[in-house]
């Protein structure tokens, strides 16, 4: 593992000076992004289809197994490595970005952290090769931000748990082979207690994929309902202690938030790249738009906010390589980066006018994609509640 | 309610009619039209039947004669149901009709205004002369003298109602200097239309390039006067209407947010009961109300005649920003549902962004405003 082991090393990373291994990941990711993903990104958005070439290329590079330990067939990388990859992928395609992030942060992470040896042996090698793509089922119609209000139940019946209930808004719901699922295993007075975490294979009888949402953006990432109707799951598929599911869910999301922060900063970087090219080629009164003062000022603000977001992201990634659950680092990165990329999208489209507002243009696509980053894996309001608790 | 406006009975009745029409006819299909990018055909027919296209224009030319404030209220109401429909209406009733009503001779007004007022003919203004609108790198349209009349050549980019309009007022550069306004039928020989641009918002509105390949225009079909000044005046008037679209979007977003927040339960409470939500409500409401008041002030000044360009620009700038702020916040308050098409607010955010872009396309107007205010 290329953990940032000293403060000195961390300081370098937060300043954007990556170690050799992470820099190699970043460079290779950029190549994949530019050569394989970017040429398909508009089509993915238009057709709302699974970004196959993108995920295949990341898988070929071993990056879908980024945080899976080598002994399970994984890449054995750090959170800094993971962020280095996600930043580059999101810079060209936010749908591929979230699919990759959910796979690693919300499915691989809980298995490797809380799973029994049996479960790890069973699933990590398959997740490492993308034979199984991962998803995470926490949200229900009555349990969004209020995730403790889970209605899905899991009853022990012999050596199986029987799951009943419905989840909504599940990323990769259509394509996933493996689901991390939260369900109530007992009725306690405190709603956050009595929830447990399971791993469920997609083809388990009783599990069905429901309605897919039509969304503003990240159109190539499917978002579906997942229904459990007397779905029998082997008892050994319980992840972590029975009744500890809520804490596990929150710890998983805390890590996932850094992935979403990467989505925001990646989008932000893509917008800057697009706007830079536009304002240098477009002229007003005989000079490039880039030299018009109001445009240059806007660009400078976008760059400042982007750089701040990346610094917060690498701060969070280093913290996660050092300790299991660094709340403040992860939530500040997510809050800031998601808000900043939306400001960037709005302002870039303003400068580009209709040219930045027609389909096929990256700024138009990113304007719609950016909007989700303030909503999922904890809304901005939830981040503020969480951050306030750390004071 | 717009009760502080001292509307007369006729205005009030008309407002009630349009509000009802919006609720019953405009609003229900708005989501579907956005998804499919379909022109609001049925709505347009209904609007024509109501006879509202010419609300601002005098009765002599087939209008209703109720002035610009009433017009703004109609646009605002329409936009509360479907901003794309309101945009279609503005391109027709402000831009195309405005040019003819302000510049046309009596004979020309008689010839064209009635079919435009009745909505039988859909109009558009094709801006093909560089001076007034620094549009997105359009090559522009050039008019050259040919016998008694003119021949048009070139492209007018992203004309609202461009792919469908049956009557187009074309602002073209005149060979040898200056510019002119030419009225062209949609079926004129040599007139071509590009496909409607696939825009991010206002998707049911029709933004298309219109091409002119030797389109002949008889002298009788050119509008007299200083074309640049006429177009500038028409655009000033349209700024009030764009502000009205923005206010309509903001109000729709706010109303939906209130309804949703009262229903949505979490942590054993309604979403509307959290301090943070209340703070958002007050910010959204005061922003929306300020945009609305500025809109009405601008429209009232417009009815007063000269000297309303600055306040029109300010109303547009402010309202467009407010619409986006409010719609953005609406999406946030709806949470995951806000990101889904079904709950409509994501459409409002995209529509608001298109209206906000309209502000920058008139960067010209913004500079003019700043110069006027700073007396430079
Ligand atoms: C495209 C997409 C993909 C998703 N993918 C997944 C996935 O893979 N797995 C999964 O489990 N979920 C997923 N989600 C669900 C997502 O995480 C939730 O939408 C999010 O947590 C918000 O929940 P909600 O939609 O129920 O909104 P609500 O919780 O109803 O929130 C509504 C509003 O209330 C605010 N609010 C919440 N709590 C408070 C409070 N205490 N005080 C004040 N305001 C508050 C929120 O910030 C928001 O503005 C996805 C959602 C979308 C849209």
Q: How far is B269 from chain A (nearest CA, A)?
A: 11
A2 pLDDT higher than 90: no
Q: How far is A275 from chain B (nearest CA, A)?
A: 15
Question: What 3-state class would DSSP assign to A68?
Answer: coil
A169 CB less than 6 Å from ligand 1? Answer: yes
Round to whole Å and give the CA distance between B300 and A47.
47
> What is the model's pTM?
0.97
Q: Where are the alpha helices (DSSP H) in chain B?
A: 9-21, 30-36, 41-50, 67-81, 83-90, 97-103, 106-117, 227-263, 275-304, 309-334, 345-361, 363-374
The enclosing H or E element of A326 equals none
B373 pLDDT higher than 80: no
Q: B349 touching A, CB under 8 A?
A: yes
Q: What is the mean pLDDT of residues B251-264?
A: 98
State the residue for tokens 């942590």. Answer: B267
Domains of chain A: 3-128 (1.10.540.10), 134-245 (2.40.110.10), 247-389 (1.20.140.10)
Q: Where are the domains of chain B?
A: 3-118, 123-226, 228-374
| CA–centroid distance for A134 within its chain | 12
Round to whole Å and give the CA distance between A199 and B136.
53
Q: Among all residues of chain B, which has the CA nearest to that of A355?
A: B136
Ordered DSSP codes for A119-149: HHHHHHHHHHTTSS-EEEE--BTTBSSSTT-
The number of beta carbons lying within 10 Å of the beta carbon of residue A388 is: 9
A184 pLDDT higher than 70: yes
pLDDT at B129: 86
Question: What 3-state class would DSSP assign to A154?
Answer: strand
CB contact under 8 A, A374 and B200: no
Most confident option among A187-191, A309-313, B134-138, B303-307: A309-313
Reported CATH class of domain B123-226: mainly beta
pLDDT at A222: 98
For residues B253, B255, B256, B261, the Cα torsion angle rounded to the nearest 10 degrees is 120
Q: Where are the alpha helices (DSSP H) in A61-131?
A: 79-92, 94-101, 109-114, 117-128
pLDDT at A143: 97
CB contact under 8 A, A215 and B207: no
Burial of B48 (0-12, 13-18, 19+ CB in 10 A): middle
Beta-bridge partner residues of A212:
A224
Structure tokens at B70: 């009433």
pLDDT at B132: 42
CATH 1.10.10.10: does it fit domain B228-374?
Answer: no
Residues 125-154 of B with CB under 8 A from A: 134, 136-137
Q: What is the pLDDT of residues A87-110, one digit of tens each?
A: 999 999 999 999 999 999 999 999
Dihedral over Cα of A109, A115, A117, A118: its sign: negative
Q: What is the pLDDT of residues B79-138, one digit of tens each?
A: 999 999 999 999 999 999 999 999 999 999 999 999 999 999 999 999 988 644 444 445
pLDDT at B376: 59
Q: Give the list of residues 6+ apart from residue A71 with CB closer than 8 angstroms, or none.
A: none
pLDDT at A285: 77
Is residue A53 annotated as part of the catalytic site, yes or no?
no
The enclosing H or E element of B127 equals strand B123-128
Q: Give the list of residues 6+ apart from residue A94 with CB closer than 8 angstroms, or none.
A: A217, A218, A263, A266, A267, A365, A366, A369, A370, A372
Residues of A within an 8 Å Cβ radius of B: 139, 142, 144-146, 149, 168-169, 213-217, 282, 284, 342, 346, 349-351, 353-355, 357-360, 364, 367-368, 371-372, 374-376, 379-381, 384
Structure tokens at B140: 């522009």
B360 pLDDT higher than 70: no
Question: What 3-state class would DSSP assign to A231?
Answer: strand
B27 pLDDT higher than 90: yes
Round to whole Å and give the CA distance between A187 and A149.
11
Please work out, in degrees rounded to the nearest 5, the angle formed at the alpha carbon of residue A15 by the alpha carbons of A14 and A21.
70
A194 pLDDT higher than 90: yes
Instruction: Give chain A's mean pLDDT.
Output: 96
Q: B342 touching A, CB under 8 A?
A: yes
Ordered DSSP codes for B193-249: EPPPP-BSS-TTS-EEEEEEEEEEE-GGGEEPS-HHHHHHHHHHHHHHHHHHHHHHH
State the helix-helix crossing angle for A94-101 and A38-47, rounded to 10 degrees. Answer: 90
Round to whole Å and give the CA distance between A267 and A89.
9
Confidence tier at B375 by pLDDT (50, 70, 90): low
Among A213, A350, A359, beta carbon nearest to B340: A213
Q: What is the pLDDT of residues A319-333, one digit of tens each?
A: 999 998 999 999 999
Choose, from A10, A140, A225, A377, the residue flagged as catalytic. A377
Round to whole Å and give the CA distance between A387 and A380.
10
Closest CA to B81 of B32, B122, B9, B144: B32
Superfamily of domain B3-118: Acyl-CoA dehydrogenase/oxidase, N-terminal domain (1.10.540.10)
User: Which of A357, A361, A373 is the best residue to mutate to test the B interface, defined by the most B CB atoms within 10 Å of its own CB?
Assistant: A357
């Amino acid at each position: 593992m290329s953990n940032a082991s000293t403060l000195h090393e961390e300081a370098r990373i937060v300043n954007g000076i990556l170690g050799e291994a992470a820099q190699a990941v970043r460079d290779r990711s950029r190549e994949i992004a530019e050569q394989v993903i970017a040429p398909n990104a508009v089509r993915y958005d238009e057709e709302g289809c699974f970004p196959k070439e993108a995920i295949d290329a990341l898988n070929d590079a071993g990056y879908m197994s980024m945080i899976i330990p080598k002994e399970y067939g994984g890449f054995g990388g750090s959170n800094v490595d993971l962020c280095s990859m996600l930043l580059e992928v999101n810079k060209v395609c936010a749908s591929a970005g979230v699919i990759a992030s959910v796979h690693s942060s919300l499915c691989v992470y809980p298995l490797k952290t809380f799973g029994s040896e049996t479960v790890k042996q069973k699933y990590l090698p398959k997740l490492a090769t993308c034979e199984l793509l991962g998803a995470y089922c926490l949200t229900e119609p009555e349990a969004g931000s209020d995730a403790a209000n889970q209605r899905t139940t899991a009853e022990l019946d012999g050596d199986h748990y029987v799951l009943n209930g419905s989840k909504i808004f599940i990323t990769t719901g259509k394509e996933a082979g493996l689901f991390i699922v939260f369900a109530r295993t007992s009725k306690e007075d405190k709603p956050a207690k009595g929830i447990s975490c399971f791993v469920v294979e997609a083809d388990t009888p009783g599990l069905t994929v429901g309605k897919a949402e039509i969304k503003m953006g990240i159109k190539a990432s499917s978002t579906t309902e997942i229904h459990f109707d007397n779905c029998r799951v082997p008892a050994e598929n319980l992840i972590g202690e029975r009744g500890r599911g809520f804490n596990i869910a929150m710890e998983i999301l805390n890590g996932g938030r850094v992935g979403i922060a990467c989505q925001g900063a990646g989008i932000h970087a893509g917008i800057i790249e697009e706007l830079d090219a536009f304002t240098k080629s477009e002229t007003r009164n005989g000079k490039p738009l880039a030299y018009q003062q109001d445009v240059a000022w806007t660009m400078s603000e976008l760059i400042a906010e982007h750089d701040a977001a990346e610094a917060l992201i690498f701060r969070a990634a280093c913290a996660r390589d050092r300790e299991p659950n660094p709340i403040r680092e992860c939530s500040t990165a997510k809050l800031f980066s998601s808000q900043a990329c939306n400001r960037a999208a709005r302002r870039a489209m303003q400068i580009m006018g209709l040219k930045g507002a027609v389909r096929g243009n990256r700024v138009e696509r990113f304007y719609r994609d950016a909007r989700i980053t303030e909503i999922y894996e904890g809304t901005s309001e939830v981040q503020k509640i969480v951050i306030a608790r750390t004071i | 309610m717009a009760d502080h406006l001292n509307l007369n009975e006729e205005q009030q009745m008309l407002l009630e009619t349009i509000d009802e029409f919006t609720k019953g006819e405009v609003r229900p299909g708005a989501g579907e039209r956005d998804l499919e990018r379909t022109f609001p055909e049925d709505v347009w027919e209904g609007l024509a039947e109501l006879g509202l296209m010419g609300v601002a224009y005098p009765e002599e030319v087939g209008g209703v004669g109720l002035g610009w404030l009433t017009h703004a209220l109609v646009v605002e109401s329409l936009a509360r149901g479907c901003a794309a429909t309101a945009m279609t209406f503005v391109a027709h009733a402000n831009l195309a009709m405005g040019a003819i009503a302000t510049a046309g001779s009596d004979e020309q007004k008689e010839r064209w205004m009635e079919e435009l007022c009745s909505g039988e003919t859909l109009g558009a203004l094709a801006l093909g002369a560089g001076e007034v609108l620094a549009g997105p790198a359009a090559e522009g349209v050039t008019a050259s003298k040919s016998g008694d009349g003119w021949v048009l050549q070139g492209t007018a980019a992203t004309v609202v109602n461009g792919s469908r309009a049956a009557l187009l007022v074309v602002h073209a550069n005149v060979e040898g200097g200056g510019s002119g306004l030419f009225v062209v039928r949609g079926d004129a020989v040599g007139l071509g239309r590009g496909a409607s641009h696939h825009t991010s918002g206002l998707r049911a509105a029709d933004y298309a390039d219109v091409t002119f390949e030797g389109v002949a225009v008889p002298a009788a079909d050119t509008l007299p006067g200083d074309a640049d000044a006429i177009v500038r005046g028409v655009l000033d008037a349209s700024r009030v209407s764009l502000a009205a679209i923005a206010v309509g979007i903001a109000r729709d977003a706010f109303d939906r947010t209130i309804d949703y927040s009262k229903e949505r339960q979490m942590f054993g409470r309604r979403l509307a009961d959290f301090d943070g939500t209340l703070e958002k409500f007050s910010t959204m409401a005061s922003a929306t109300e300020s945009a609305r008041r500025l809109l009405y002030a601008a429209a009232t000044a417009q009815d007063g005649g000269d000297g309303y360009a600055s306040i029109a620009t300010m109303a547009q700038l402010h309202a467009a920003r407010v619409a986006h702020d409010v719609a953005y916040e609406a999406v946030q308050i709806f949470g995951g549902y806000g990101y889904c098409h079904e709950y409509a607010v994501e459409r409002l955010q995209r529509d608001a962004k298109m209206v906000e872009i309209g502000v920058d396309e008139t960067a010209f107007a913004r500079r003019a405003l700043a110069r006027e205010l700073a007396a430079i």
